[in-house]
Amino acid sequence: MKKIFKPFKQRMLLFIALFGLLISVQQLQAHAELLEAIPGPGEILIESPTQVLLTFDEPLKEGSDIFIFTSGFQYVEDITVSIGGSNDRQLIADLPPLAANEYNVQWSVISADGHAISGTYAFQVQAKSASTDIFYWLIGVLMIGFGVIGVVFWKNRGKYETAPNGL
């Protein structure tokens, strides 16, 4: 088990302090619910995502946060979390490049009514091999080739049609 870094604990403590404060001054009538997560639960990516984007059904308040940790509970440092500028129902974590591994997204949000909820899900960044790259490159070339041939045939279709009188 790898040692978790201090900033993680500090941020968690700060979040919990805010959590208690917000909850104590304003009670709840509803809960912000997660509508969409990108990347989503169970997704396997072949490239590191640049961010985690979570969309909720209610506006979020400061104190909402996202933590990323690996399957060994090793915290991912250098992530920047913000509430979406034009969409205050979105929570965004800008990520550093992630190595191939399984990652857990633990989110905690405080909705505008002061209620806090949290959840955790996993996604995976898959190692991309050279053979995978070549495979996709070949597939891409073939598909584009078929496309070009199809367009050429389509544009010249009159030349290949049989005359109406059968001659």
Partner 1 sequence: MRKYLFYLLIFGLIGCGASESDVVRGTVSPIQVRVVSWDHAAGEFRLSFALLDGPEAADNITAVSLQIFSIDDDQETAVWQGSATSFSDYEIPYWTAHPTVTEAGFWGVNAELNTTDGETIASDFIIEVVAESGSPLLGDVPPASQNKTLATESDLTKLSSGPDPNPAYYQLTVAEALAQDKPIVVGFITPGLCQTEWCAPVLGSVDSIREAVGDSANFIHIEVFDDFQALTLVPEMAEWGLDTREPWVFVLNQEGQVTAKFSGPLSPRELDEALRPLIE
Residues at the contact surface with partner 1, assessed by CB under 8 A: 1-4, 8-9, 12, 16, 20, 23-24, 26-31, 33-35, 39-47, 67, 69, 71, 73, 102, 104, 106, 117-124, 126, 136, 139-140, 142-151, 153-154, 157, 160-162
Query: Is the torsion defined by CA of 8, 9, 14, 17 positive or negative?
Result: positive
Between 34 and 81, name the residue whose CB sits nearer to partner 1: 34
Q: Least distance (Å) from partner 1 to the CB of residue 117?
A: 7
Between 4 and 83, name the residue whose CB sits nearer to partner 1: 4
3-state class (DSSP) for residue 88: coil
Between 96 and 145, name the residue whose CB sits nearer to partner 1: 145
Distance, in Å, from the CA atom of 155 to the CA atom of 19, rounded to the nearest integer, reads 65
Q: Least distance (Å) from partner 1 to the CB of residue 91?
A: 15
Between 85 and 110, name the residue whose CB sits nearer to partner 1: 110
How many CB atoms within 10 Å of residue 128? Answer: 14
How many CB atoms within 10 Å of residue 157? Answer: 9
Q: Least distance (Å) from partner 1 to the CB of residue 130?
A: 15
Q: Least distance (Å) from partner 1 to the CB of residue 21?
A: 10
With contact defined as beta carbons under 8 Å apart, do 52 and 95 qualify?
Answer: yes
Between 17 and 80, name the residue whose CB sits nearer to partner 1: 17
Q: Least distance (Å) from partner 1 to the CB of residue 87?
A: 19
Joined tokens for residue 140: 């891409």
Using a 10 angstrom Cβ sphere, with 0-12 exposed, 13-18 middle and 19 or more buried, the burial of residue 7 is: exposed
Distance, in Å, from the CA atom of 54 to the CA atom of 37, rounded to the nearest integer, reads 5
